A and B are shown apart, each in its own frame.
Chain A
Amino acid sequence: MTHDSERPADRVSRRKFLVTSGAIGAAGLAGCSGGSEETDTPEPSGDGSSSDGSDGSDGSDSSSDGSDGASSSSNEPSLLTGEGSSTVYPIANKGASYWNGNAPPSDGEYWGSNDEGSVPGWSELETDMHLADYFATQYGFEATGERSNPPYRATIGLSHSGTGCEAVTSGLVDIGNSSGPITAELDWSEEEANEEVVDHVLGRDGQPIVVSQDIYDAGIDQLTAEQVRKIYQDEITNWSEIGGPDQEIFCIGRAVGSGTDTSFRLNMLGDAEAEMPGVDTRQGQNQGVAQLVRQNEGAIAYMALAFTGEAVRPIALEFDGTVYETSKDAENTIFDSAYPLNRDLHMYTQITEDTPNGTDMREGAFCRMFLTQFGQQVFVEDNNYIPLPTADIEAEMEKLPDTA
């Protein structure tokens, strides 16, 4: 990451760095940007001089860049910076890594498609531009057409939700990542928050209720919040009491005192200090929960969506009269922020005089990347977070500046 932060400030140091460290440096750069680890590595050496490779391994216009480092950077947009919550960090940082990698559409693994495969959601993109180029050009930036050389770079720092909120409101960074609403983090009123920042929700952290395959097959595909509470508080101990088979309930919880356990007590049982005498076993990790649900009959658990599957079935939940369905396209879904076990992951941008909308072009293009089917799958779901339902993606798109 230190290389990333130095690079835009001083192109010479970056070239020097590559000259001195040679192939190792190139490999490290590819690792940092996360987007270009195959086929291109021999190219810099093919150019004959390693200094030519410094401005992108394609080397297509390396001579002009090499002789006159300022030619392309004179009107180049500045670095996009972000920092904040460790919960949002995996999403934002993976996004930034992909962005900086600026993989070509022929890559197949990080962007685009080739005969080995294509990235998720490629059918709705289908472009012949590089990754960052594709999103940046929609906001009027010039495409570079080079791997590892996006129109502007993005870096994400790691701190805390509150620190991220403070940093964005004081203008230190462009994007403040927070796992809690800024109103809670900085003790602001709703109005103050609406005046100061724009809240981009690009994913959710949450836990659907899951049951084992035998229970799902027996017709339990929906429970009420009251039933879940009674199961976890030992008032219901057999599935037959709620219309299921005659099978004792194997009730799985998470480690006492963990954030997941506390939020389950708070949101499902109504009190962060509620009793949970019904829990038969507690697991520290999602993987353990999934394995237990797979191996045991009559199991119920709450766990990250990414670990659900054939034998680990998420079910619908009725909460305060609303049924949250498992389908992504339903009116109320388990992907909604209103679903009691979910919380929004925020990326805040500051409203300034230059950007009354709160989101400038650089931030807009970056955020847009997350709001595609590709971004939701790769950055959100693959990191074990909950992707946004269709309706929310449309609402989030509204907050971004209009495309050029």
Chain B
Amino acid sequence: MATNKQRDSDGWQSRLASRFARFAEFVQDTDNDAVAVGALGALSLVGAFVGFLVTSPYTSVFLAGFLVAVAYGWVRHQELAARGVTLAMTVSTVVILALISFFIFYEAWPILADRSGTVFGVPIPGLELFTTTAWTPAEASPKYSMLPMIQGTVLVTIIATAVAGPLGVAAALFISEIAPAAVREVVKPGVEILAGIPSIVFGFLGFTVLSPWASDAFSLVGQGTYLFVGIVVGLMALPTVVSVAEDAINSVPESMKSGSLALGTTDWQTMTAVTIPTAFSGVSAAVLLGVGRAIGETMAATVMLRNTPRVAEPLYNVFYGFDTLTSLIAANYGSSSGFQKDALFVAGCILFVSVLALSIGSQLIERRMDRKVGGVE
């Protein structure tokens, strides 16, 4: 144990020492004024960050100091300044992400602590939010269950993926492999324009046209169904899927396709046996991106759903649409306070974690497929 520790700390120390030596060398080699300005800029930036956290009125002074340092550095030592500024930008992106995730969980903590449950004697914070089914924040003993919204989000996402996945991949394949150049030139920008339609427009169409029609056609009480929200959200995610999948299919080397054709396969056999498997990682990333969009879609869901959180029965009943995690936040943020507001942050946490899992999952799939097909290692 002791030797282990000894060896580890040795390595750690020597690594630190060599890093330090390199840094000293760098400082030595660089002009004095550049080092001074760099230090000033870095310190001001840290100072501005600390000032921001403690809401100090001197934040602007530090920020001004940083800007002055950058301006001086840009004029005198542009190359070094650019390296420093880009590094600072990257670091701040990561810091912002860290701060946001910390803040969401920090805000959600009071209700998680209050609604904890025990499993085999181990207290688990927030368990009660997932073991009950009622959302009644305004009543004498308020209940905040996340299950109705989780059900809503899951149903909407599944339906949206069922719409956007096959349609999107098929369209990408057609645009990239089958369509003549003239058609591609028209359709590709068209798909990208579809991506630019604001979500409220989709939601409004759904609210005024689709929902009333569905209400009549299926003899529902009132309007608002997961089915049509899912379809609308799927259409919204479609351009993302088409664009990314089309890029992936396009990037399959022409030599692979030509080789396959030279062996005497048909176009269709080449597509199914060579192109799609090769581009599979990119295509699945496209579908996962679409799923991410569907999970996070807010406006259309808020406008079209009923905003009365309750669990639809049976669980796969898509003809009544109550609430999703996002629409819960959007519909209630203005009039919530206390635990209700904390519960909205819990919904935010759930969204955050699921989108994070999706994004990591899609990267893992991509890496695996790269190894398997692309020969990249």
State whether A296 and B334 are in contact (beta carbons under 8 Å apart), knowing that A273-B139, A282-B306, A282-B308 are contacts in the complex: no
Q: Smallest distance from the beta carbon of B164 to chain A beta carbons, Å?
A: 26
Chain B residues 244-273 with CB under 8 Å of chain A are none
Interface: A123 (CB within 8 A)? no
Interface: B215 (CB within 8 A)? yes
Contact check, B139 vs A275: say whether CB atoms are below 8 A apart: yes
Contact check, A248 vs B336: say whether CB atoms are below 8 A apart: no
Contact check, A256 vs B223: say whether CB atoms are below 8 A apart: no
Q: Smallest distance from the beta carbon of B258 to chain A beta carbons, Å?
A: 57
Chain B: which residue is nearest A260 at the CB level?
A: B335
Contact of A255 among B136, B211, B221, B334 (CB under 8 A): B334
Q: Which chain A positions have C-beta within 8 A of B332?
A: 255-257
Q: Which chain B positions have C-beta within 8 A of A257?
A: 137-138, 332, 335-337, 340
A 280-297 to B, binary, CB cutoff 8 A, 1 in contact else 0? 111110000001100110
Q: Smallest distance from the beta carbon of B180 to chain A beta carbons, Å?
A: 44
Contact check, A299 vs B222: say whether CB atoms are below 8 A apart: yes
Q: Smallest distance from the beta carbon of A231 to chain B beta carbons, Å?
A: 12
Contact check, A275 vs B136: say whether CB atoms are below 8 A apart: yes
Q: Give bound CA distance, A273 to B337, whole Å.
A: 15
State whether A296 and B138 are in contact (beta carbons under 8 Å apart), knowing that A255-B335, A280-B306 are contacts in the complex: no
Q: Give bound CA distance, A224 to B221, whole Å.
A: 23
Q: Give bound CA distance, A259 to B335, whole Å.
A: 8
Interface: B280 (CB within 8 A)? no
Chain B residues 332-373 with CB under 8 Å of chain A are 332, 334-337, 340
Q: Which chain B positions have C-beta within 8 A of A296?
A: 212, 215, 222-223
Interface: A262 (CB within 8 A)? yes
Chain B residues 96-140 with CB under 8 Å of chain A are 136-140
Residue from B215, B222, B336 whose CB has the most chain A CB atoms within 10 Å = B222
Chain B: which residue is nearest A262 at the CB level?
A: B138
Chain A: which residue is nearest B212 at the CB level?
A: A295
Q: Is the interface of B mostly helix, strand, loop or mixed?
A: loop
Chain B: which residue is nearest A280 at the CB level?
A: B222
Q: Which chain A positions have C-beta within 8 A of B331?
A: 255, 282, 284
Q: Smallest distance from the beta carbon of B209 to chain A beta carbons, Å?
A: 10
Q: Which chain B positions have C-beta within 8 A of A256?
A: 137-138, 332, 335-336, 340
Interface: A375 (CB within 8 A)? no
Q: Smallest distance from the beta carbon of A280 to chain B beta carbons, Å?
A: 5
Q: Smallest distance from the beta carbon of A98 to chain B beta carbons, Å?
A: 30
State whether A274 and B139 are in contact (beta carbons under 8 Å apart), knowing that A250-B222, A295-B211, A296-B215 are contacts in the complex: yes
Q: Smallest distance from the beta carbon of B132 to chain A beta carbons, Å?
A: 15
Q: Give bound CA distance, A258 to B340, whole Å.
A: 12
Q: Which chain A positions have C-beta within 8 A of B136?
A: 275
State whether A295 and B138 are in contact (beta carbons under 8 Å apart), knowing that A280-B306, A281-B308, A282-B308 are contacts in the complex: no
Chain B: which residue is nearest A251 at the CB level?
A: B222
Q: Smallest distance from the beta carbon of A291 to chain B beta carbons, Å?
A: 7
Contact check, B334 vs A281: say whether CB atoms are below 8 A apart: no
Q: Which chain B positions have C-beta within 8 A of A53?
A: none
B 221-232 to A, binary, CB cutoff 8 A, 1 in contact else 0? 111100000000
Chain A: which residue is nearest B341 at the CB level?
A: A257
Q: Which chain A positions have C-beta within 8 A of B215?
A: 295-296
A 252-277 to B, binary, CB cutoff 8 A, 1 in contact else 0? 11011111011001000001111110
Interface: A112 (CB within 8 A)? no
B 64-103 to A, binary, CB cutoff 8 A, 1 in contact else 0? 0000000000000000000000000000000000000000
State whether A280 and B308 are in contact (beta carbons under 8 Å apart), knowing that A250-B221, A262-B138 are contacts in the complex: yes
Q: Smallest distance from the beta carbon of B161 to chain A beta carbons, Å?
A: 26
Q: Smallest distance from the beta carbon of B300 to chain A beta carbons, Å?
A: 14
Interface: A279 (CB within 8 A)? yes
Contact check, B138 vs A273: say whether CB atoms are below 8 A apart: yes
Q: Smallest distance from the beta carbon of A188 to chain B beta carbons, Å?
A: 28
Interface: A358 (CB within 8 A)? no
Chain B: which residue is nearest A295 at the CB level?
A: B212
Q: Which chain A positions have C-beta within 8 A of B278?
A: none
Contact check, B138 vs A298: say whether CB atoms are below 8 A apart: no
- What are 14 A-B interface contacts by the 8 Å CB criterion? A249-B221, A255-B307, A256-B332, A257-B137, A257-B332, A261-B138, A273-B139, A275-B136, A280-B306, A281-B224, A282-B308, A295-B211, A296-B212, A298-B221
The 4 closest A-B pairs by CB, nearest first: A250-B222, A281-B306, A257-B335, A258-B335
Known: A272-B138, A282-B308. 12 other contacts (CB 8 A): A255-B335, A256-B335, A256-B340, A257-B336, A273-B139, A273-B140, A274-B139, A275-B136, A281-B222, A291-B207, A295-B215, A298-B221
Name B residues whose Cβ lies closer than 8 Å to a Cβ of A: 136-140, 207-208, 211-212, 215, 221-224, 306-308, 331-332, 334-337, 340
